[in-house]
C-alpha cells in the first residue's frame, strides 16, 4: 500500500518584490479601485472583490462572468486597457490595469 505524503512546499520566491513586480497592487474596474495579488487572473481579482459579472450578451444584454474558468467558454470576455474581448480567466492582472464592463461585442467604443 502506498503511503500518503504531503505535496512539496511551494518554492520560495525567486525574486524580491520591486516597483515593477509588486506582491500586491491595484487595478480599476469601471472606475472602482480594487486590490490584486501577484499571480491572480483578472477574473480572480474581480471575484475577490465580489464582482461576478463583467460583460453583457450581444442579443439581450444578460450579465455574464466566468463560467468554465479555463479559457474554453468565452463567457468571461472583458475590456482591459481599452482592448475588448480579453478572457478574464486567463489574463494575468497587472498593476494599474483598467478593466471595464464589456457591453455586447465590446466594439462600440472602437467604432468612433
Residue ranges in contact with ligand FES by CB under 6 A: 66-69, 71-76, 87, 89
Nearer to ligand FES, 19 or 39 (CB): 39
Cα separation, 46 vs 15, whole angstroms: 26
Q: How far is the CB of 93 from ligand FES (least distance, A)?
A: 14
Nearer to ligand FES, 47 or 103 (CB): 47
Q: Contact at 8 Å (CB) between 55 and 78?
A: yes
Distances (CA, A) of 17 to 27, 68, 93, 95: 17, 31, 16, 13
Q: How far is the CB of 73 from ligand FES (least distance, A)?
A: 3
The cell numbers describing 8, all together, are 512539496
Q: How far is the CB of 54 from ligand FES (least distance, A)?
A: 11
Amino acid at each position: 500500500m502506498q503511503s500518503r505524503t504531503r505535496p512539496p512546499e511551494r518554492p520560495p520566491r525567486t525574486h524580491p518584490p520591486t516597483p515593477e513586480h509588486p506582491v500586491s497592487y491595484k487595478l480599476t474596474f469601471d472606475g472602482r479601485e480594487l486590490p490584486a495579488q501577484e499571480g491572480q487572473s483578472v477574473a480572480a481579482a474581480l471575484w475577490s472583490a465580489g464582482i461576478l459579472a463583467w460583460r453583457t450578451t450581444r442579443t439581450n444584454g444578460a450579465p455574464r462572468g466566468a463560467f468554465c474558468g479555463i479559457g474554453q467558454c468565452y463567457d468571461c470576455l472583458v475590456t482591459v486597457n481599452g482592448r475588448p474581448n480579453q478572457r478574464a480567466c486567463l489574463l494575468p492582472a497587472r498593476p494599474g490595469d483598467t478593466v471595464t464592463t464589456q457591453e455586447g461585442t465590446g466594439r462600440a467604443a472602437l467604432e468612433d
